[in-house]
Structure 1
Amino acid sequence: MPSLDDDLAKLALQEERLVFGRFDADTAWSLIEYLKARAEAEGAAIAIDVTLVSMPLAYLALPGTTPDNADWIRRKRNSVFKLFKSSYAIGRRLEQQQTSLEEKLALPPRDYVSHGGCVPIRVKGAGFIGALTVSGLPQRQDHNWAVAAMAKVLGLDITDIALSAE
């Protein structure tokens, strides 16, 4: 596993660069389509969620997922909506501090988790407006897939700030 400091630096840069000029239902659908095609090509069972602060926008559960995936999405999203950081960045920071969401902020694990896969959606001039969540893979891979989808839709090359697959 790469160092916490290296991961945290790259995670911060991802959140800085992955900013949309605008975001609507078509943008959400583009994220879903990319992730669905990738999952089908790689034989992965994932659930995908795009939720704005104001409302749910899109959800897709591929064959092989279970209701647990929807619950993981809810818990990851709660953490991102509370702290405005990716769920993986939250988890890596807590690991660095040797604490948990429950110990540090009294957030119950039934409703909040710091497992990777939920990435904030930000719009230039508006800031944080929602989150994209992937569930079904190991947490680092969930995170990487969500980031890859956003980079693809934004037309960005983020190889310099991509987390290793480890």
Structure 2
Amino acid sequence: MSAADDIALVKKQEAELVLPVFDEAVAYEIGSAIRARALAENLSLVVDIRTWDRQLFFTATAGTSFDNAEWVRRKINSVRRFQRASYRLVLERGEAPFPPQSGADPADYVIAGGGFPIRVTGAGIVGALTISGLPGRDDHGVAVDALCDHLRLDKKSFALPKQ
């Protein structure tokens, strides 16, 4: 698959992985499912699910560190500012830091996969589901898989191919 094909698929994910409702219970359900997967597969992950004004779910599994939480914070900022999955930024721009003229300070923003916008029917993007611990494409895939599972959609039709 080419980068253009990957971008088109991420845009499809962003457009179609839309929640009918998003609240504390939904955040807990999605986050708990990701944690259960991480434990079952022995994945070292930090997971943060939030609206823009507050964190609704956070977990860290063995093998993670403060650095993972910092990556999550910076990915959240990127999703919020650019209103797209942080992995789409990687595909569109590469992983180099934002240039100084962008005003996106690398201390607060990062181009790395794992941040996914939470879109709600009728409301638009209200927050982010963000993961850190795996390579960026895999962090992104865990988020997409969790949303597919929650929405009872076929993960295969939304999954980026393995590289």
How does the TM-score come out when normalised to structure 2?
Answer: 0.94
Alpha-carbon distance in structure 2 between the residues aligned to 1:135 and 1:16: 23
1:160: Cα distance to partner? 2.2
Give me the identity figure in percent. Answer: 40
Task: Specify the alignment match of 1:123 in structure 2.
Answer: 120
After superposition, where does 1:15-164 map in structure 2 within 5 Å?
15-95=14-94, 100-102=97-99, 105-164=102-161
Asked whether the 8 Å contact 1:18–1:150 carries over to 2, the reply is: yes
CA deviation after TM superposition for structure 1 residue 165, in Å: 2.4
Q: Distance in 1 between matches of 2:142 and 2:99?
A: 27
Whether the 8 Å CA contact 2:19–2:151 is kept in 1: the answer is: yes
- 1:121 and 1:138 mapped to 2: Cα distance? 21
How far apart in 2 are the matches of 1:127 and 1:141? 25
* Structure 1 residue 29 displacement after superposition: 0.8
SS in 1 for 2:99: helix
What is the CA–CA distance in structure 2 between the aligned matches of 1:10 and 1:103, rounded to whole Å?
A: 30
Aligned-residue CA RMSD (Å): 1.5
Aligned length: 163
Give the alignment's TM-score, normalised by structure 1: 0.93
Would the aligned equivalents of 2:144 and 2:158 in 1 still touch at CA under 8 Å? no
Structure 2: tracts of 5 or more residues without a match:
none
Q: Which runs of 4+ in 1 moved over 3 A?
A: none
CA positional deviation for 1:11: 0.3
CA contact (8 A) 1:94 1:100 kept: no
